[in-house]
Amino acid sequence: AQTVTQSQPEMSVQEAETVTLSCTYDTSENNYYLFWYKQPPSRQMILVIRQEAYKQQNATENRFSVNFQKAAKSFSLKISDSQLGDTAMYFCAFVDHNNNDMRFGAGTRLTVKP
Amino acid sequence: DTGVSQDPRHKITKRGQNVTFRCDPISEHNRLYWYRQTLGQGPEFLTYFQNEAQLEKSRLLSDRFSAERPKGSFSTLEIQRTEQGDSAMYLCASSGQTYEQYFGPGTRLTVT
């Protein structure tokens, strides 16, 4: 079974600092996709960044970047220059090439402090 | 494009009543997903459609749950004889040619 684990239930960071959220996953598949989603309080889930497993280059989207370690099945999210608006639950997610169902971790609650 | 929309946003019902939720996906997306999210947890997969065909259902989807997607457009999720354990946020997502899924705002169900 494919599982996603986020070992940090809560994290905090000072505004303008950098923070890294951890995620590990378990799968026997070789072709899959990984995502980080952001869910602000009482608001809908927003896609932050995606990574294709067949790509060795780590994905980046502005202040957001990932460290994808396929052999270690690790997929961490780095947020640079943290902003107050980054305060949210962050979910790591996995889907295989069949795209039938997305598996989510339990989430990390990130608080950016002024 | 207005994104994925869901209706209603909130629903309070008494135990034993039936409820129906609607999801309108992004117009060009052929895949539509339903998830359930309880407080403090990540979404859990319920079912998914490719066009009008329901291709997979989770074991979480008991006989009291049914989903449809007539004509491959909007979808409905019905829960019959609701139980207090059904209280949760029900999320809909859609995807097109790529693998990312785009989520709607959800329907929060409270069963009293």
pLDDT in the model for residue B98: 83
Helix (H, G, I), strand (E, B) or coil at B71: helix
Cis before B8? omega within 30: yes
pLDDT in the model for residue A100: 75
A7-61 pLDDT, tens per residue?
A: 999 999 999 999 999 999 999 888 999 999 999 987 889 999 999 999 989 999 9
pLDDT in the model for residue A97: 81
- CB contact under 8 Å between B48 and A101, yes or no, is yes
Domain boundaries, chain A: 3-113
**CA–CA gap between residue B7 and residue B24 (Å, rounded):** 9
**CA–CA gap between residue A38 and residue A60 (Å, rounded):** 15
**CA–CA gap between residue A13 and residue A19 (Å, rounded):** 6
pLDDT in the model for residue B107: 97
Regions of chain B with pLDDT less than 50: none
Beta bridge partners of B34: B47, B92
- Say yes or no: A103 contacts chain B, CB-CB below 8 A: yes
- Say yes or no: A50 contacts chain B, CB-CB below 8 A: yes
Which of B31, B102, B105 is closest, CB to CB, to A47?
A: B102
Domain A3-113 sits in CATH 2.60.40.10: yes
pLDDT in the model for residue A59: 95
**CA–CA gap between residue A112 and residue A25 (Å, rounded):** 26
